[in-house]
Every structure is written in structure tokens, then in C-alpha cells.
Amino acid sequence: MKDRKDLKKEELQDLSAGVRMENPIKTIFKGIWERPTAFAGLVIIVIFIFSAAFAPWLVPHDPLQMDLPNRHLPPMSQVTQTVVDYTEEDPDKMFTEREVLFILGTDHAGRDILSRIIMGARLSLFIGVGVVLIRFAIGVPLGLIAGFFGRFTDTIIMRIADGFVVFPDLLLALAIMAVRGPGIENIFFALAVTGWTGVARIIRAETLSLRERDFVQASRALGATNKRIIFRHVLPNAMAPLLVMATLGLAGPILGEAALSFLGLGAQPPQISWGRMISQARSTSPIVRGRWWQMTFPGLAIFFVVMGFNLLGDGLRDILDPRMKGGG
Amino acid sequence: MNTYIIRRLLQVIPVLFIASLITFSLIHLVPGDPVAMMLGDDATPEDIAHLRRTMGLDRPLPLQYVEWVGGLLRGDFGRSIRDNREVLPTILRRIPASFELSLVSFILSLSIAIPIGIFSAVRQNTPFDHFGRVFALFGLCVPNFWMGLMLIYLVGFLWGILPMYGRVGPVLWTWEGFKHAILPAITLGTAGATLTMRLLRSGMLEVLRQDYIRTARSKGLGERVVVYKHALRNGMLSVVTVVGLSVGQLLGGSVIVETIFSWPGVGRLVFERFINRDVPMVLGALMFFGLVFCLNVVLVDIIYAFLDPRIRYD
């Protein structure tokens, strides 16, 4: 490796062109296009977000419509459904019969599983994005402060973070849900309050290394205030790890919500949650009945979405931070 | 070495102190009244006031906190409001079942993760390595409760190979008992196994690039000796940390796995009491798990220092 000062001017320009991205968004998309796994992750996430956004127009059936005669139908069932269809013009006609297809089968109340999965994407996306935003809102400032000011402040903040880490995964969230009761806003609180420490830790490490870099020292020598250094130098340079962390971090709350809802402490009806669908399948259809579709498909939905965020996040890390290549 | 151990143990105290503050404030300071939640919707204000008094919740918070921590230090974790039994003995009674399950899960996951981890590093970018990566990705993304249910359905019901749930007698001594532990142990261990595998792989890749490995190769040592005698010892260091830390994951995962498989361990106890809003039990269980986790971290550090002399003299 040549030293920087030995390089010719053109070489130096090449080097800085590599380090300083001309258009970060273009670089990111080019990088994703070149990596099949990251691209697969992006495709999954696009489908997921699309389903969540346009759920009411995509669902083949009403996800809340119960239809007891058609309950527990296996996938690809084509049946005749009788629906109440009363109109003033034709008082004699009370019901209409129509042919319907349940692609992924129906649950214990005759509701279409495919429609419920599509609709359930909304809650997962909402929880994932919301929890990550709250975690960042707590973790980024605390990590910045700890890393930038160091000493006593650092010790206090990081000891508090340590105090949160001693509780096993999900146990603290479970305890909070138990005491506060089930419900969406409590899921937010429980998952956000237990997950900010990871964000704070990474931002702190990033700040610590940026703080000592030449350009920050130079800026300080020129008389820049702490505020200016943090907002002009530290934060913009920490954007790449933040983006990676946000992408990878979406998987955790989605899994967490599913687990809490599976245990009955999360979403409550009529909220449609993938975790709750699995728990309902388990409680209404004993395993020995062999109604595998009721728990398999919602589980696959969770699995693929979590995988999508992991694949895309890993890809982004590769693209934005070449130092991490090959690891993990 | 002794000073190191003592120093590490002393460092646990502030962490546990902060953990106790967090636990206490999350339960007592969050909006919402735990007492009203415990009694349900049809409780009269008098009932609520009465239970408040019995639980000592009407006294000032700092006083409550000091008394609670004082109790913890004497080994008194309080009494359950559901069956009025002491919290700590109730937890301790459930430990053996959870310990058995964790042990089986540990052995199973390590015996899968370590060979795959080593081979994927040694044969980097071969089909075997790709298989390892897919396995790692699977373990990272699969929701453990769903995986448990699918195992029960496929292995237990459809193929009828293993029992679906429950625990029979002492697991490690009878074949029947061991068979009951296999499915829950797999469910519990998958996340940790894939994590161990990933870290062992990257640890080994790191070590295999070192100069002393090149030296060992260049002086004509066989590949087998280089990998197993020179590289593995240092590569394994990263695993010690992960394996130690995955104990936390085992404790957390046990809540879900034991509930699904009707395994009578601590995890299921905690879950049952949590949904019944047994606040003293919630507090006690959190602190108990926190203590186990901290001691475990210290144990890992000690093992690490034992294996890697550089740490001891820092």
C-alpha cells in the first residue's frame, strides 16, 4: 500500500473518487444490482411494502369476513359461497351464491388466509418502521453524546445501556407487555425501550473514531463549535452505518411483534397480525387435525420479510463499508 | 488471575444495580396502574386500594425500591400474589427441567455449528460454504415459535418420529426422556447454532490469513495440522464469547419454546405468571435472569482470560 503523499495527482483523484461517492443513491442501487442476494432482499421488501400500502385493493376476499360453513378449507379450495345480498328492488332474493377460490385456504372462522396475510403486512411494516424510528430517536443522541463528550457522560450512558442488556431477548419486552397490558402502543413502547442500546453503542463507536480524525481536528482548530462538528462532520459521516443499521434493525421488531402476538400479549383483534394468526391456528386447530396451512403461510410471510431485510442490510453494508467485506 | 476474577465480579455490582433500577421503574413508573391491571375490569376502587396497601404500593417509591433491593440482597425476592409462595424457591424448583433442555440444546447446536463453521472457512466459496451460509441465514430469520410448531407438525405428527410435547422423567438418563427433549432443543438451539457458526467461520478466516499460518504452511506442515493445531485454537476464541452470550438467548428463547412444547421449566413458569400479571414474580424473574446473565458473562470472561493470556495482563 502506497502512502497517500507518494501518489500522483491523478491517482489521488481516483482514490478520492472511490471514497467520496458522487451520487450515493446511484452507487447503492448499482451495488444492489450487482449482488444477487441483496437484490433478492430488495425484491422481497418491495413486495412487502407494496402489499402493505395497497392491501385493501390487493386482497381477493374481505380479510375480516367470517364464513363458518367454509372454515378450515385447505389451500386451492374452490367452493360455493352464500352471501347475504338483500336489495330493495328484489325483496324475495335474500342470498346470492358465488364460486370462490381460497388460494391459501381458510382459518377457523372461514376467513381467507391469503387476504389476512396481505392485510397483516400493514401491522408488521408499521411496527418495524415505528420501533426503529423510536430506537433511533433515543439511541442516536445518546450514542453521539457518549462518544463525543466521553468521560463521565460516556460512563453513565453506557452503564445504563449495560443495565438493559442483562435481560435476555424479549424478556423485558414481555414483562412490560404483561404489566401494561396488550395493545399496539405498548408493543411500540416495549420493543423501543429494550432495543435502543444497540443503536447507541454503534453510534458511539462511530463517533469515537470520527472524533479523532484529521478533518474533525482541523475543524476544531479552526474554532468550530461542538454543535457544528456534530452536525456537519460526525453525523453526516455516520449516515452509512445508520442506514445499514436501520435496514437490519427492521427485522428485529417484526420478529418481536410476531412473538409477542403469538404469546397473546401483542396485537388484539380485529388487528391482523401474522404472529396472532399462528397462535390462533395453534389454539383452534390441534396439530393432529393436520391443518398445516393455517400456521405455515403466516410463518413463511414472517420468515421471508425478515430474510428480505437481512439480505438487503448485508448487501448495503458490503456496498457502503468495504472494510466489513468477507466478515460474517 | 485471582485479582482479575475478583475485579470482574465487582464490576457486576453496578450493572445489576442499574438493571434493578430499570426493572423497578419500568414496572412502577410507566403509565398504567399495575394493580388495576392485575385485578381486571370488575375490580372496585376499594379492592384496588386494598391490594395496593397489602403490596406496599401506597408508600413512597424510593422507600419501596430500597425495601425491594434490600430483600433481593437477602435472597428474598418477595411473594407471588397468585399463590402467595416465595418467588425465588418457585423459580429454583423449575431450574432442573430448563437446565436439561438447555444442555441438550447446547450439545446439539455446538456439534452442528462447530464442524460447519470450520469447514466453511477452510473450504471458502465452495458449495459446502454456500450451504453453510444458507443455514446461517435460515437460523437468523426463522421465528423460533413457528419453527417449533412446524417441527411438531412434521417430525412429531406427520412422520411420527419423535414425541410432540411434554417431558418424561429425567431427560439425560432415559432414552424416552431424551427423545422428548430433541425437538424443543433443536428449536431452542437453532438461533445460537447459526450465530456460533457464522462467527467461527469469520474467526477462522481471519486467523487463516495470519502470518504464522503462512509460516506453518511454508515449513511444510500438513494442512490438517495447520488447520486443527494452529488455526482452530485461535479461531475458537471468538466462539467462547458467542457461546457464553447465547446463554442469554437460551434463557429468553426458553419462554417461547417451553410454552410451545409444554416443557415444565422456568420459561413456561415465567410466561404463565407474566400473563397473570403477577408483578412480584415479574420483578423477581427479571432480576434472577439478569443475575444469571451477568454471572455467565463473568464466567465467559474468565474462560477467555484463561485461554488468552494477553487479556489477563491488561
Closest-CA distance, B137 to chain A, in angstroms, reads: 7
**Smallest Cβ distance to A278: which of B146, B251, B255?**
B146
What pLDDT, on the 0 to 100 scale, is given for residue A2? Answer: 47
Best A171, A255, A283 residue to mutate vs chain B (most B CBs within 10 Å): A171
**Smallest Cβ distance to B37: which of A181, A303, A307?**
A181
Q: What are phi and psi of B210, to 5 degrees?
A: -70, 160
Q: Which residue has the higher pLDDT, A157 or B81?
A: A157
Residue B307 has pLDDT above 90, yes or no: no
HEC profile of chain A: CCCHHHCCHHHHHHHHHHHCCCCHHHHHHHHHHHCHHHHHHHHHHHHHHHHHHHHHHHCCCCCCCCCHHHCCCCCCEEEEEEEECCCCCCCCCCEEEEEEEECCCECCCCCEHHHHHHHHHHHHHHHHHHHHHHHHHHHHHHHHHHHHHCHHHHHHHHHHHHHHHCCCCCHHHHHHHHHHCCCHHHHHHHHHHHHHHHHHHHHHHHHHHHHCCHHHHHHHHCCCCHHHHHHHHHHHHCHHHHHHHHHHHCHHHHHHHHHHHHCCCCCCCCCCCHHHHHHHHHHHCCHHHCCCHHHHHHHHHHHHHHHHHHHHHHHHHHHHCHHHCCCC
- Say how far apart CA A174 and CA B276 lie, in whole Å: 12
Chain B residue nearest residue A302, CA to CA: B143
Chain B, 262 to 291: residues with Cβ < 8 Å from chain A are 270-271, 274-275, 277, 279, 282, 285-286, 289-290
In chain B, where does DSSP find H-type helix?
2-28, 34-39, 45-55, 61-73, 87-122, 127-141, 144-151, 175-208, 211-218, 223-225, 232-260, 266-275, 279-307, 309-312
- Give mean pLDDT, residues A133-160: 89
Chain B residue nearest residue A250, CA to CA: B141
Do residues A325 and A318 make contact, with C-beta atoms less than 8 angstroms apart? yes
Do residues B293 and B251 make contact, with C-beta atoms less than 8 angstroms apart? yes
Residue B305 has pLDDT above 60, yes or no: yes
Best B69, B141, B269, B298 residue to mutate vs chain A (most A CBs within 10 Å): B141
Residue A174 has pLDDT above 70, yes or no: yes
Share of chain B above pLDDT 90, in %: 8
Residues B289, A251: C-beta atoms closer than 8 Å: no
Residues B251, A171: C-beta atoms closer than 8 Å: yes
Share of chain A above pLDDT 70, in %: 90
B183 lies within 8 A of chain A by CB? no
Q: Which residue has the higher pLDDT, A293 or B246?
A: A293
Do residues A183 and A177 make contact, with C-beta atoms less than 8 angstroms apart? no
Do residues A210 and A216 make contact, with C-beta atoms less than 8 angstroms apart? yes
What pLDDT, on the 0 to 100 scale, is given for residue A159? Answer: 87
Residue A100 bridge partners (DSSP): A79
Chain B, 130 to 169: residues with Cβ < 8 Å from chain A are 137, 140-146, 149-150, 152-153, 156-158, 164
Which residues on chain A are in Cβ contact (under 8 Å) with B34? 179
| Overall residue count recorded for chain B in this entry | 314
Residue A3 pLDDT grade (very low, low, confident, very high; cuts 50, 70, 90): low
B21 lies within 8 A of chain A by CB? yes
A269 lies within 8 A of chain B by CB? no
Average predicted confidence (pLDDT) for chain B: 83
Residues B146, A303: C-beta atoms closer than 8 Å: yes
Do residues A205 and B61 make contact, with C-beta atoms less than 8 angstroms apart? no
Residue A60 has pLDDT above 80, yes or no: yes
Burial of B264 (0-12, 13-18, 19+ CB in 10 A): middle
Q: Which residue has the cell 449516515?
A: A239
Q: Which residue has the cell 431427560?
A: B171
- Residue A171's closest CA among B291, B300, B73? B291
ipTM of the complex: 0.87
Query: With the CA atoms of A145, A147, A153 and A159 taken in that order, what torsion angle do they form, in degrees rounded to the nearest 10?
Result: 110
What pLDDT, on the 0 to 100 scale, is given for residue B59? Answer: 76
B249: DSSP letter:
H
- Give mean pLDDT, residues B1-25: 85
Q: Which domains does chain B possess?
A: 94-266+291-307 (1.10.3720.10)
Do residues A123 and A257 make contact, with C-beta atoms less than 8 angstroms apart? yes
Do residues A273 and A280 make contact, with C-beta atoms less than 8 angstroms apart? no
Residue A328 has pLDDT above 70, yes or no: no
Residues B19, A296: C-beta atoms closer than 8 Å: no
Residue A228 has pLDDT above 80, yes or no: yes
**Smallest Cβ distance to B248: which of A168, A287, A303?**
A168
Do residues A161 and A139 make contact, with C-beta atoms less than 8 angstroms apart? no
- Give mean pLDDT, residues A193-198: 87
- CA distance readout (Å), B175 to B107, B111, B182: 16, 19, 11
Residue B295 has pLDDT above 90, yes or no: no
Q: Which residue has the cell 418457585?
A: B90
Residues A169, B253: C-beta atoms closer than 8 Å: yes
pLDDT tens digits, one per residue of A36-47: 889 999 999 999
pLDDT tens digits, one per residue of B210-228: 888 888 888 888 778 888 8
Residue A1 has pLDDT above 60, yes or no: no
**Smallest Cβ distance to A302: which of B137, B143, B290?**
B143
B222: DSSP letter:
-
- The one-letter amino acid code at A37 reads T
- The one-letter amino acid code at B306 reads F
Number of A:B CB contacts under 8 A? 160
- CA distance readout (Å), A215 to A222, A237, A293, A327: 10, 11, 58, 28
Chain A residue nearest residue B136, CA to CA: A328
- Say how far apart CA B148 and CA B146 lie, in whole Å: 5
Residues A328, B202: C-beta atoms closer than 8 Å: yes
Would the CA dihedral through B299, B304, B309, B310 be positive or negative?
A: negative
Q: Whole-prediction pTM value?
A: 0.87
- The one-letter amino acid code at A65 reads Q
Chain A residue nearest residue B33, CA to CA: A180
Cell of B258: 417451553
Q: How many CA atoms lie within 13 A of A212 on its CB side?
A: 7
- Say how far apart CA A129 and CA A123 lie, in whole Å: 10
What pLDDT, on the 0 to 100 scale, is given for residue A237? Answer: 83
Burial of B7 (0-12, 13-18, 19+ CB in 10 A): exposed
Best B24, B26, B35 residue to mutate vs chain A (most A CBs within 10 Å): B26
Residue A325 pLDDT grade (very low, low, confident, very high; cuts 50, 70, 90): very low
Classify A93 in phi/psi space as left (phi over 0), alpha (psi -120 to 50) or beta: beta
Chain B residue nearest residue A306, CA to CA: B141
Residue B43 has pLDDT above 80, yes or no: no
Residue B231 pLDDT grade (very low, low, confident, very high; cuts 50, 70, 90): confident
Chain A residue nearest residue B164, CA to CA: A287
Do residues A303 and B142 make contact, with C-beta atoms less than 8 angstroms apart? yes
B202 lies within 8 A of chain A by CB? yes
Residues B152, A287: C-beta atoms closer than 8 Å: yes
Would the CA dihedral through B14, B16, B18, B24 be positive or negative?
A: negative
Residue A20 pLDDT grade (very low, low, confident, very high; cuts 50, 70, 90): low
Residue A119 has pLDDT above 90, yes or no: yes
Classify A150 in phi/psi space as left (phi over 0), alpha (psi -120 to 50) or beta: left
- Say how far apart CA A279 and CA A44 lie, in whole Å: 24
Would the CA dihedral through B225, B230, B236, B238 be positive or negative?
A: negative
Residue A305 has pLDDT above 90, yes or no: yes
pLDDT tens digits, one per residue of B246-278: 777 787 788 899 999 988 888 899 888 888 878
B259 lies within 8 A of chain A by CB? yes
Which residues on chain B are in Cβ contact (under 8 Å) with A160? 18, 22
**Smallest Cβ distance to A295: which of B149, B256, B275?**
B149
In B87-174, where does DSSP find H-type helix?
87-122, 127-141, 144-151
| CA A315 to chain CA centroid, nearest Å | 16
Buried b (16+ CB within 10 A) or exposed e, A261-297: bbbbbbbeeeebbbbbbbbbbbeebebeeebbbbbbb
Residue A126 has pLDDT above 90, yes or no: yes
Do residues A30 and A73 make contact, with C-beta atoms less than 8 angstroms apart? no
